[in-house]
Chains A and B, each alone.
Chain A
Amino acid sequence: MTDSLTGIVQISIAAVLIQNFVLARFLGLCPFFGVSKKLSSATGMGMAVVFVMTVASMITWWINKAILIDMGVEYLRTIVFILVIASLVQLLEMVLQKFTPALYDSLGIYLPLITTNCAILGVAIINTGINVFSGTGYSFVESTVNGAASGIGFTLALVLMAGLRERLELADIPKSLDGLPIAFITAGLMALAFLGFSGLSFFK
């Protein structure tokens, strides 16, 4: 096993806190602002994203290695990945509905929204690049962990945001800033706070 435990811990902490998908990488903003009005729906969406991101990371890693690189057609990556993710979401929806109706009831309505969530395609593409911690490509375990941790980072930001927005509802906000602008300012303050994590360093 070449995947050292430290490597995995590094990837997870980086993906959740330092390079948070929403607050540092600007991925998955549409659902972040769209579904963060209520805490309950934010939790549901977050769970669905963690689930899909993990599975998508595993599958796209394999497709990238076994099909795209081996056949020398890496230029088809974008189109293949988006098709795989779209069909994966469809398939998951069917499987969940059939075998675990309880889980489907809680996650089902968020699944169709996920196809166009750029965070999923984003993590798949990041996994094809170079892992900055080891200097080589992501291994299967590493990309799975990266997918799961990125999803958790997304959920963390989403749930925090939903909590803040529920409180903001009662606040007296200038009329022009009501709605999205105040949400952006809140997100900006959260991003400022998350900048503090960039001092967390395990590089030396």
Chain B
Amino acid sequence: MVEMAKMIVALTIISALAGLAIGAAYDKTAEKIAEQGERAKQEAIKAVFSQGVVIKEEKGGGALPEKYWSATENGKLVGYAFEVSERGYSSEIKFMVGVDQTGKILGLSVLAHNETPGLGSRMTEVAFYKYVWYPIGGDEPGKPWFTQQFEGLSSLKNIGINKSLGEWHNTDSATRAKLRERNEITAITGSTISTVAVTKTISRDVGGYVRALNTLEEK
């Protein structure tokens, strides 16, 4: 009996101390964690517009999302940013899309995903050619190629997926112009599902938001 009591006391004390320790750690980090999430979002919004714009948070509702952002440059409206998400192959892909009033995509930035490493996760891969044995100099890493190819396409039309031209970062400028004309992007090799998730969401959600905003303005 005494032994039983001892066991219970020991376990209780240890669990209580553990709870206290984790609680303290949570108190110390909670603010920082929230800040990190907010900062990631702000950076994503900035990334979808060109530099020098003023970003304002807008309240939506109805056909629009609860929260979206508008960007103005020298007092003139240049576009909106919407946060959208869709299931990919193995996770929820969250991304930020910037569009202007005509529905032209200004930029796209992936906020969070957990797709298969080596396949779908390449949506955030930056195509730059720097070698292990010469890591200094050369090109600076730019934007991820997968999201960059959306720039200039229309969100009001269906975005097609081209599988015959190879991946965008390996194509020349003539091919890129042709793709843009057809409102098409190239898929990530081996991950059609992740690619489709992104294009489908843009035509469905972002295109819909742009239409809703335009009808609002007409009224």
Contacts and interface: CB of A to CB of B under 8 A. Distances in A.
Nearest to B200: A204
A103 B26 CA distance: 43
Contact of B18 (A19, A79, A201): A79
A99 interface: no
Interface string B12-44: 000100110011001000000000000000000
B50 interface: no
A171 to B, nearest CB: 31
Interface string B84-114: 0111111110000000000000000000000
Interface stretch (A52-60, A130-138, A179-187): A130-138
| A contact residues, range | 10 to 19
B196 A204 contact: yes
A133 B86 CA distance: 10
A75 B22 contact: yes
B22 A133 contact: no
B193 interface: yes
Contact of A132 (B18, B23, B90): B90
A135 B201 CA distance: 13
B193 A201 contact: yes
Given A130-B92, A204-B196, A76 B22 contact: yes
A19 B90 contact: yes
Interface in A114-146: 130, 132-133, 135
Contacts of A135: 85-87, 92
Interchain residue pairs A-B with the least CB separation, the first 6: A132-B87, A75-B26, A130-B92, A135-B87, A203-B193, A76-B22
Interface of A: 19, 75-76, 79, 83, 130, 132-133, 135, 198, 201, 203-204
Interface of B: 15, 18-19, 22-23, 26, 85-92, 193, 196
